[in-house]
Amino acid sequence: MKLALVVPCYNEEEVLEDTTKQLCKLFDKLLEKGKIDEDSYILFVNDGSKDQTWNLISKFNEQEKWVAGLNLAANVGHQNALYAGLMSSYKNVDATISIDADLQDDINVIENMIDEFNKGNDIVYGVRNDRTSDSFFKRFTAQRLMSARAVEQLGHYKERNLFLRGMVPLIGYKTSCVYYARKERMAGESKYPLKKMLSFAFDGITSFSIKPITMISWVVFLAIVFSVCAMIYTFIGHFVGNTVSGWSSLMISIWFLGGVQLLSIGVIGQYIGKTYVEVKERPRYNIDVLLESKSVGKEND
């Protein structure tokens, strides 16, 4: 089979050399075993890195026969960078596998994924045995194999607010899972601070669910019940002559209702904002440079 391994990269200069060595050795081994064809390749997708990541990719493209490179014109985020790699590679391969550049996912499980693909599975998920040490972002990303036709179907989903972990199961083709243990990051640090993690999580929730709007309805209902109770308390206080305490109940009611209203407007605004982004239909990414691997170039000759 012809395989494309898609590796999104953002400021990964500290790990990229070791990552390339490990992946090239893996491809050599898979070729010897007859698991992959000679024109398979590793596609590093540079997501607008500010360090030497693209220069390293270009160098490894010259040195290693397996390495190809895709340089995006600007930073578009992990999901869009991964999507760009998938869309750029699926037409000339049998299957694609996605993996992060830090290699915290066990690359040896790729052989098992290929075996599952050969059994007729279009989508194979890499599932970690123990996720207790995973960062928040890592819980929503995973190693994954997709057949060419599965990636083609993924391209029919036109939303700009990408959450691939939720989109891939919607394709509906035959799936399987392989299991592995998670490793520690080789070097450097995670490129997903708390702000990006929260944004990613909220994108996942609002892109695939209307539950936040439903929850607002329940919160508003509870606010009404609370306000009625506060009103009854105020009337009782008035009739027994204890009018000073009315100030407390009034302030509680005002602040509580004000908070609910602002929360409701904020959540609804998120959905309106996403609709605004979708209807403009701007491209998810722009390609600056595409470097083919030597194996692919040889095959084209």
More confident residue, 200 or 49: 49
pLDDT of residue 137: 46
Q: pLDDT tens-digit profile of 91-105?
A: 999 999 999 888 877
Whose structure tokens read 């606010």? 223
Residue 295 token pair = 């194996």
Residue 283 token pair = 């491209």
Contact yes or no for 53/46 (Cβ under 8 A): yes
CA 249 to chain centroid: 46
Q: Give the mean pLDDT of 37-56.
A: 93
Q: Give the mean pLDDT of 262-286.
A: 72
Question: Across-strand partners of 126?
Answer: 178
Euclidean distance between CA atoms 44 and 179, whole angstroms? 24
Euclidean distance between CA atoms 108 and 30, whole angstroms? 10
More confident residue, 77 or 189: 77
Contact yes or no for 111/145 (Cβ under 8 A): no
Q: What is the mean pLDDT of the chain?
A: 79
Residue 162 token pair = 């990408």
Question: Across-strand partners of 287?
Answer: 72
Contact yes or no for 42/66 (Cβ under 8 A): yes
More confident residue, 218 or 44: 44
Q: pLDDT tens-digit profile of 235-255?
A: 676 666 665 655 666 666 676
Euclidean distance between CA atoms 167 and 40, whole angstroms? 26
Q: Say what the alpha-carbon torsion angle 176, 182, 188, 192 is, to the nearest 10 degrees.
A: 60
pTM over 0.75: no
Euclidean distance between CA atoms 146 and 122, whole angstroms? 6
Residue 32 reports pLDDT greater than 80: yes
Residue 51 reports pLDDT greater than 80: yes
Residue 292 reports pLDDT greater than 50: yes
3-state secondary structure of 112: helix
